[in-house]
Structure formats: C-alpha cells, structure tokens
Amino acid sequence: MTTTSVPEFQHRTVLLDEAVDALDLKGERANGIYIDGTFGRGGHSRLILSRLGPEARLIAFDKDLQAIANAETIGDARFTIVHDSFATMADALAERGIPAVDGILLDLGISSPQVDDAARGFSFRNDGPLDMRMDTTRGISAAEWLATESEKTLEKVIRDYGEERFAFQIAKAIVARRAVEPISSTRQLAGIVAGAVKTREKGKDPATRTFQAIRIFVNKELEDLESALSQAFDALKPGGILAIISFHSLEDRMVKQFLASKAKVEQPDRRLPIKAADLPQPELKLLSRIKPSDKEVEENPRARSAVMRVAMRLPAPGGAQ
C-alpha cells in the first residue's frame, strides 16, 4: 500500500493511562485480543502493546492515511492496522477468524495533527483547502458538499450536528455566497459564518459549531459510532471491557444511552408468576465515568471536553455465550 509521509505535528493522547488501565491488562487478560478503534498517532496502541503478553493480539483501525503510515512503523507481530473505520470491526474480525475479543477502546476524538495541519481543512484557525475528510481517498470533501447541498439540508446538518442556534442564518449565507464564488477555503467559510452569527459564547469562535457539524457529517461520524457500538458489544467476550472516550455532547449522549440500554432491563410486573431465573438480566455492567485531571487539562487544553465511559460485558444467563 502506498503511504504518505508523516508530518511533524505534536499530538498528546487524552486519558492515555486511564484508558489503558480500564482494559485491565493483567493476568490471563494480558494474552487476550484487543481492539484500538482509532489508532491516531498510536499513543493508546503503543501503551497497550507494552503491557500485553507474547500471545496477545491488538487490532487497530484508522481512516487517516497519515495515521496508517505511522502505524506501519510499529514492528510488532502482535499488532495489525486496518485502513478503515472502526465501524468495520465485525468484518475485520470475521476475516481473521476471531469470534470475540477481551477489550475494545474507542477514542472518538480527532488527532492534533489533523487539526493543526492547515492542508486538512479541519480548522478555521489556519487557512487551507476546505476538505475535512479523515480519509482523503474516499467520499466528497466539505467544499464539494457545500457547493451542491440544498439550503434546507445545510441548515439541518449545522443545527443537528453542531447544535448551532443560528443554523438558518448560516445556511442562508452559505447559499448566497456560493452563488457568487466557490467556497473552497477554511478562511472563506469561517468568514461567512462570522458574518451570519451575531452573538457567540465568550471565548468561542463563531465558526466552531459549524466546522464541527460539517466534519461530523462529511465523515459520517455518528453513523459510524452507532454501528460500532452494536458491533463492539457483539464482539466482546463475557468479562470483556468496552472503554469509549467522547469529546462532544452528541457522541457522549449516544454512548451513554447505548450503555444504559444494555445495563438496565425492564422488570416485569411483580404480580406475575415468573421465576427469578427467568427474569431479564442486564448485559453490561457500568464500571466508571472518567474525566481528565486538572493537570492534564492544564497541559493539554484539548482534553477539557473529554469523558470516558467504561463498561464490562456480563455473562449470559445460564452461562450461555
């Protein structure tokens, strides 16, 4: 596979020790099979590998070619990198003859190199081409999408994925501008949004929510997460750990609701003659909710919004798998 060179942008892995600790890589579990759903720049994967036994396996996923190039520098027979979304984990495991795994880590954040490299188009802080794709070999860029999408859909995406109350005004401004000239750079889009948004939270750029919304939509982040959550649950062995790091409220809400749906069950009417063994049982046990420490946030402000939720798959009633 052709790979790209890895630019020198710094990345600090959020909740590094806490996430790897959550997988509980001790005793027999040290020789288990694990998934790192987003390799990024490899902080979690490298620490996991350092704690795994010789018979263990780690399968990592990433859509970003620069992340893949970085992953291919790991010379460890226990490690496999897959150039695809973590939403393909079921197929990846089936192709490798793996029926179940001992732990799964999903880090839903984008890496600092993606944000800081103006050529990727993720950030409004530096001017660059309006791309925003995690995988530049697939799909359409943000610029291509903005050029053709209806005003109504633009408004819906910016409102729903960015939680932006000025979505109507922003969508209207985008359509008006593209009638005059193509919207092809991050600076253009940021300027359009700034002109349409008259008030904003203190300390937050007017373009923040719109850029988030377009990035989520172009990369199908919420669709991938919805699919990955059910696949991850299905892939876990009884006793397997699922740890998920979210960075904004849309993701965290989905994760929280999914975990809660597996950890709680509807109890039947107590007046019904049902044996205790036949009562519905939870499928997951919620273990913890962890936020970065004050020290980590001070050293890495991008960690401020992170939250990690950890759960364990419970055995099926009667010991069935």
Provide the pairing of β-strand 33-36 with 57-62: parallel
State the chain's maximal CA–CA distance in angstroms.
72
Q: How far apart are CA 319 and CA 317, in angstroms?
A: 5
248 phi and psi angles, rounded to 5 deg: -145, 165
246 phi and psi angles, rounded to 5 deg: -110, 155
Q: Which residues contact 2 (CB under 8 A, 6 or more apart)?
A: none
- 107 labelled ligand-binding: yes
- 127 labelled ligand-binding: no
Closest among 206, 201, 204 to 189, alpha carbons compared: 206
Closest among 201, 186, 211, 212 to 119, alpha carbons compared: 186
Q: How far apart are CA 20 and CA 26, in angstroms?
A: 11
For the beta carbon of residue 112, count every other beta carbon within 10 angstroms.
18
Tell me the sheet residues that pair with 285: 312
3-class state of residue 259 by DSSP: helix
- 114 labelled ligand-binding: yes
Tell me the sheet residues that pair with 265: none
- 62 labelled ligand-binding: yes
One DSSP character per residue, 165-181 reads TTHHHHHHHHHHHHTTS
- 231 labelled ligand-binding: no
Q: Which residues contribute to the annotated binding site for S-adenosyl-L-methionine?
A: 42-44, 62, 86, 107, 114
Q: Which residues contribute to the annotated binding site?
A: 42-44, 62, 86, 107, 114
